[in-house]
Structure 1
Amino acid sequence: MDSARNPDPEKRINRLSQRKISLGGGTTFTSEYKLRADLEQARHLAETLYDNERGDRQKAEFFASVVAPVYETILSRIPTLEQLDETMGLYKFQRQDVEDGIMGVYNRALHVPDVPATRADGSHIPIFGKTLNPAQIQREWVESNGIVVVDDVLSKETLDLIQQKIMWESTVWYQTKLPQRFGGYAGAYIDDGLHQRILLQLSIELRKLLPDIFDGHPLKYMWAYKYDSDSNYGGINLHADEAAINVNLWLTPNEANLDPNSGGLVIYTVKPPQDWDFELYNRDTDFVYEHLLKPSNFANITVPYRVNRAVIFDSALFHNSDEFTFRKGYKNRRINLTLLYGDMEKQQQPLSQESSEL
């Protein structure tokens, strides 16, 4: 790998694309919540890799004696969120940060374990749980007009691998967004580190399992978000995704969720009109509330959080994270894995000319 993510400076030949930087995945800026998440992960890796029988004690020592102290140093002097008002909470690394070693550890692929879809003996790891009923899921999809909740999606073996090796260990959480506008969550993307074989296998087998839902809709994109448990931050704001089908899978243990009646997803039963473009309906949320959600009396389906629960829904439906209260601690951070399939199908009737010009 010859990208800027490489931990070896001599192998950082190719610069990051402007798209990855614009998404918040650059190496020259950060946010307080992102640094805190990275610090927690470094401490987790220092402990996990040292204790694991097949771990790497030399790498564990690296995270304990090099990575964690750098993050601790930068966090000790990073300005408050209010002091970073002009940049909406983003912080550009200063000369002292560089001298303290931040460029050697921040947003680098320091530890990305390979997670195959087969066992050491070559046998296939079962992706899905034994209780799934594909016929029932597909029937509910039709009857519900495109919103299905599926519990116990992954087998325990697959769930454990994805949780531990990808979501908790892999240092591919490169994205930080403007915290004053979007809240506090770090992101990992299929085209920027989140492409382990078991995830790709999951995306393929899901289409095979539910052909009536996914036929004609190839995988379009995939990401995971890891949220800050601080009460100052929320989840994802109101939006619709540019795809046909959205699969939102939750991966944090239930014990982390302090309110089992919340913490999931709110899906509104309206879509953007055909004459709206992506930027309009995801930028002007006040307009969406006034001219789409309010006339529908904010009709929605709210799905509470459960680990290993997937919500499969029409991706054009407006949705946002439900309010959540999760325990403090690295492995308690709320995590969702999102897979997008196919192209968006908007509602057939555009808004009236009068309302579309407001």
Structure 2
Amino acid sequence: MSKAVSQYYPIAPHEWQSVLAAYESSTPYNYAVIDNFLQPDVCQQLHQELLNHPGWCNQNSTGQTLVGNMGPKIETIFAIAQSLKANCPSLFSDYELVEHWALMYPKNASGKLHSDVASLTLNLWLTPDEYNLEPNGGGLTFFDVKRESEPSPGKSLSYFWSEEYMKDHTAGQKVSISYKCNRALLFDASTFHKSDAFCFANTKAESHRINLSLAFDNPTVYQERNRALREAFTNSSN
């Protein structure tokens, strides 16, 4: 019998004060790298649970071949969210898990520059390192630009995914974090970022690059921001 979520702690022991210090001191990006994030058996289990989950659907919104799984109802994911709130309340006390998704890449590619819609994002890589053919890369790059917390009235929110917006506001700084299985990146979701070019074996589903993302925010604020985004895209397509 599986444990209740409230009693299940999948995250490995970490020095959370150091995590918080790294997040706060890494301005202008605001991120923390947490290696060996999950207990090893939990990481393997979650990888398999995602691979076996029926919710995968083909996507092509970023111009690349990928498969998405939006909001898979897997107990471990909700337990991770609860554990984060319990272990790092100074960051998470005002936020709830508002959305989560997994992305699988059957072909090697690179990501598209964007900022996330929530306030905090936890990104977790789950594919075993043995399938990563370029161990020193394939991760994530943060740029020295954040989206506006309160966009100007009437401004299109398409700049959340705008190369032009980033170029207009950057001072030319960026930092890249290489891929590593069971490595989590906790970061300010408003920071512009993109997945780096990666090279995985892609011989079977288990070898495709998979990342899991958890989004945290005030639910009311998040819903309003999503509503504004939907309206912006509706208006731009008319």
Which category describes the TM-score, using the shorter chain as reference length? 0.7 to 0.9
C-alpha distance in 1 between matches for 2:42 and 2:179: 19
Matched, 1:305 2:179: yes
C-alpha distance in 1 between matches for 2:189 and 2:215: 8
C-alpha distance in 2 between matches for 1:311 and 1:142: 14
Residues 177-226 of structure 1: CA deviation (Å, up to 9, x unaligned): 24xx5211111111xxx011221111111111111121212111100000
Task: Check whether the contact 2:9–2:79 (CA below 8 A) recurs between aligned residues.
Answer: no
Matched, 1:133 2:15: yes
Identity level (%): 25
- The letter for the 2-side match of 1:275 is P
The match for 2:64 is: 183
Structure 1 residue runs of 5 or longer lacking an equivalent are 1-115, 346-358
The match for 1:149 is: 33
Secondary structure in 1 aligned to 2:185? strand
C-alpha distance in 2 between matches for 1:204 and 1:226: 25
Task: Check whether the contact 1:248–1:311 (CA below 8 A) recurs between aligned residues.
Answer: yes
Larger RCO (alpha carbons 8 Å, 6+ apart): 2
Task: Check whether the contact 1:256–1:327 (CA below 8 A) recurs between aligned residues.
Answer: yes
The match for 2:227 is: none
C-alpha distance in 2 between matches for 1:259 and 1:175: 25
Deviation at 1:261, TM superposition (A): 1.1
C-alpha distance in 1 between matches for 2:84 and 2:214: 10
The Cα RMSD (Å) is 2.5
- The letter for the 1-side match of 2:131 is A
Structure 2 residue runs of 5 or longer lacking an equivalent are 223-238
Structure with higher helix content: 1
Deviation at 1:239, TM superposition (A): 0.4
Residues 85-109 of structure 1: CA deviation (Å, up to 9, x unaligned): xxxxxxxxxxxxxxxxxxxxxxxxx
Q: TM-score normalised to the size of structure 1?
A: 0.55
Matched, 1:172 2:47: no
Matched, 1:239 2:147: no
Deviation at 1:283, TM superposition (A): 4.6
TM alignment of 1:90-101, pairs within 5 A: none
Matched, 1:264 2:145: no
- The letter for the 2-side match of 1:288 is Y
TM alignment of 1:54-73, pairs within 5 A: none
Task: Check whether the contact 2:9–2:80 (CA below 8 A) recurs between aligned residues.
Answer: no
Secondary structure in 2 aligned to 1:262? coil
Q: TM-score normalised to the size of structure 2?
A: 0.82
Task: Check whether the contact 2:113–2:162 (CA below 8 A) recurs between aligned residues.
Answer: no
Structure with higher strand content: 2
Secondary structure in 1 aligned to 2:145? coil
C-alpha distance in 2 between matches for 1:336 and 1:284: 22
Deviation at 1:174, TM superposition (A): 2.1
- The letter for the 1-side match of 2:186 is I
C-alpha distance in 1 between matches for 2:36 and 2:162: 36
Task: Check whether the contact 2:114–2:162 (CA below 8 A) recurs between aligned residues.
Answer: no
Deviation at 1:235, TM superposition (A): 3.3
Aligned length, in residue pairs: 214
The match for 1:54 is: none
Matched, 1:315 2:189: yes
Secondary structure in 1 aligned to 2:11? coil
